[in-house]
Chain A
Amino acid sequence: MNARIMSIASNTFREAVRDRVLYNLIGFALLLSGAAIFVGQISIDIEKLVVINLGLTAVSLFGIVIAIFIGIGLVSKEIDKRTLYTVLSRPVRRWEFIIGKYFGLAGTLVVNAFFMAIGVFAALLYVAHHYQASDGWILVALYFIILQFLIICSLALLFSSFSSPLLSAVFAFSLFVIGSFSEDLRGFAALVKGPAGWVATGIAYLVPNFSALNVIGMVAHGQAIASRLIALNTLYALLYSAVALSGAVLIFQHRNLK
């Protein structure tokens, strides 16, 4: 990675931290410790299950909200504040700006998820008193959540490159919801025949696939995750992010900033 991208990425990370993004960790800690303490008192034998389910769901949702709300402003905010012109007047290419912003946001989310993961494992130790070998699959679920973040970040950045922050948020969140049901969508598309079927199939493959990245339910029950699924999900997340980032670069490259 070149120095200019690194510099933009680290500035984006610093800006997010200055915007008190990591304060969400306090909310997360309260949520998880509350669940760990109280659920044991009002239910039977699901403390561990609740900690894993709630913990991983919170990691995912907190991260997605952060990714969308920071990602949508990454380009437009720089234009509104006119700081973009200062950056681009230096020897920084537009594509480097986009890629740098992407790595900065992704880095913020990875750090955030890292602290949350520590919280999940601490709460797990509190309720179960020891770790089991199957708890290791939680790390895979966390890895898949980070892959989700990579896709969401790239989509938020893509929308931010041509749309207003509000519309970008709507688009990105809608795609997240649609993507969570993408396997259903492909199933429905397979039932439609003829030209309508081709269009439906095209759309079903165009929207991101978040279904395969959600294994929270499986790991909560200690089920193993196939290594092939890990490999394919990794490849998919990288390819899809590259698609969205290429789109963002193409749009931003041709955007009239005057």
Chain B
Amino acid sequence: MKPSKKVTLTATVLLTVCMAGSVAVLRELDKVRAGATLEDVLYISSPKLVKRLSLGYDGLMADIYWTRAVQYFGSRHAARASRYRQLAPLLTITTTLDPQLVVAYEFGANFLSPQPPAGAGMPDEAVKLIEFGIQNNPDNWHLYYDLGFLYYMDLKDYPRAEDAFVRGSKVPNAHPFLKILAAQMAQHAGDTQMARALWTTTYQTSQEKQIRGNAIAHLRALQVADDVTALERIVARYREITGQNPTNWSELVNAHLLRDTPLDVTGRPYKLMPSGRVEVEVPDDIPFIEKGAPEGYTPPPPKDLEKLAG
């Protein structure tokens, strides 16, 4: 073999082997520094400074920060984190750079508001974010709806929720349901009927698969809550009549208190516990479940919600 060919061959082999080696080492480095990028303090935490440094390319910068916020929330959510320190600053920078980026307000509030593990448990920050969105997009009725939703579901502040729906209903081209929600608020504040109405509106007014899937999951959890309440009432009735708890559903069917073995939203039969409690068989398959879960149950982070939207 000619010396030049030998050099070419050696260099090619070296290049290939070292490249493969560097990729392998990089993968190991990523394990050692897992989450390092996302855990880093923000390089620049002042939204105004970031805006100035973006040299007029605010839109692109906002897109990058929004992607980073999504990535930050997603990775911590998957790791069942209980703290999301950088989420609010990332969203503030995103929306300061592009105040018309409505998706950042809607999804951002959804990330910030619910309690862990579903979200960051920062409803006040979520309210601030949506209010900033309304300030910059006063004609977008979705933001008023989101604000009312936040006040209702996470802060349980029904007068403020009603106020947000009323304000939203006055926006041109607002969804007619906002007026109905505002009116229903006085009568049904705090009950599952109102919550069901809110989630149904969310489902009907959004095109985003993730939001629609989230709404379906909440509606399923509400259905379970209603079922469990009704079934436990029937069990109590049986106890009143016989003086003891039923041991299975057949006893309730034979007593003409039930038509058939009751099934949950996944099609599995409900479990009748010796104490008379009613539980679902696989709580992990019903995200956001509050009633019907075993005592001391810790739910996993909800996942693949968009599949529910079909």
Q: CB within 8 A of B12: which of A212, A228, A233, A246?
A: A246
Contact status A254-B8, CB under 8 Å: yes
18 contacts between A and B (CB under 8 A): A95-B11, A187-B37, A188-B71, A191-B67, A191-B71, A209-B29, A211-B36, A212-B29, A212-B33, A217-B40, A229-B29, A229-B33, A232-B29, A232-B32, A239-B19, A246-B18, A250-B8, A253-B7
Q: How far is the CA of A123 from the CA of B88 in the complex (A)?
A: 38
Number of interface residues of A (CB under 8 A): 31
Number of interface residues of B (CB under 8 A): 30
User: Mostly helix, strand, loop or mixed at chain A's interface?
Assistant: helix
Q: How far is the CA of A30 from the CA of B18 in the complex (A)?
A: 41
Residues of A within 8 A of B36 (CB): 183, 211-212
Q: How far is the CA of A233 from the CA of B67 in the complex (A)?
A: 28
Contact status B15-A243, CB under 8 Å: yes
B68 within 8 A of A: yes
B226 within 8 A of A: no
Which residue of chain A has its CB nearest to the CB of B33?
A212
A199 within 8 A of B: no
Residues of A within 8 A of B12 (CB): 246, 250
Contact status B33-A188, CB under 8 Å: no
Contact status A249-B11, CB under 8 Å: yes
Q: How far is the CA of A90 from the CA of B14 in the complex (A)?
A: 26
Contact with B along A183-214 (1 / 0, CB 8 A): 11011100100000000000001000101100
Contact status A232-B28, CB under 8 Å: yes
A42 within 8 A of B: no
Contact with B along A232-252 (1 / 0, CB 8 A): 110110011011001101100
Residues of B within 8 A of A209 (CB): 26, 29
Chain A residues numbered 61-106 whose CB sits less than 8 Å from any CB in chain B: 93-95
Q: How far is the CA of A254 from the CA of B41 in the complex (A)?
A: 47
Contact status A235-B7, CB under 8 Å: no
Contact with A along B1-43 (1 / 0, CB 8 A): 0011001100110110011011101101110110011101100
Residues of A within 8 A of B (CB): 93-95, 183-184, 186-188, 191, 205, 209, 211-212, 217, 226, 228-229, 232-233, 235-236, 239-240, 242-243, 246-247, 249-250, 253-254
Q: How far is the CA of A3 from the CA of B26 in the complex (A)?
A: 34
| Contacts A232-B25, A240-B22, A250-B12; A184 near B37 (Cβ below 8 A) | yes
Q: How far is the CA of A249 from the CA of B4 in the complex (A)?
A: 11
Shortest CB-to-CB span from A77 to chain B, Å, is 23
Contact status B11-A239, CB under 8 Å: no
Which residue of chain A has its CB nearest to the CB of B36?
A183
Q: How far is the CA of A239 from the CA of B8 in the complex (A)?
A: 18
Q: How far is the CA of A253 from the CA of B37 in the complex (A)?
A: 40
Shortest CB-to-CB span from B23 to chain A, Å, is 5
Q: How far is the CA of A94 from the CA of B23 in the complex (A)?
A: 28
Interface centre among B25, B68, B71, B75 (most CB of A within 10 A): B25
Q: How far is the CA of A160 from the CA of B310 in the complex (A)?
A: 54
Contact status A253-B11, CB under 8 Å: yes
Q: How far is the CA of A217 from the CA of B39 in the complex (A)?
A: 13
Q: Which 3 A-B pairs have the closest CB atoms?
A: A246-B15, A239-B22, A242-B18
Shortest CB-to-CB span from B152 to chain A, Å, is 32
Residues of B within 8 A of A93 (CB): 3, 7
Residues of B within 8 A of A250 (CB): 8, 11-12, 15
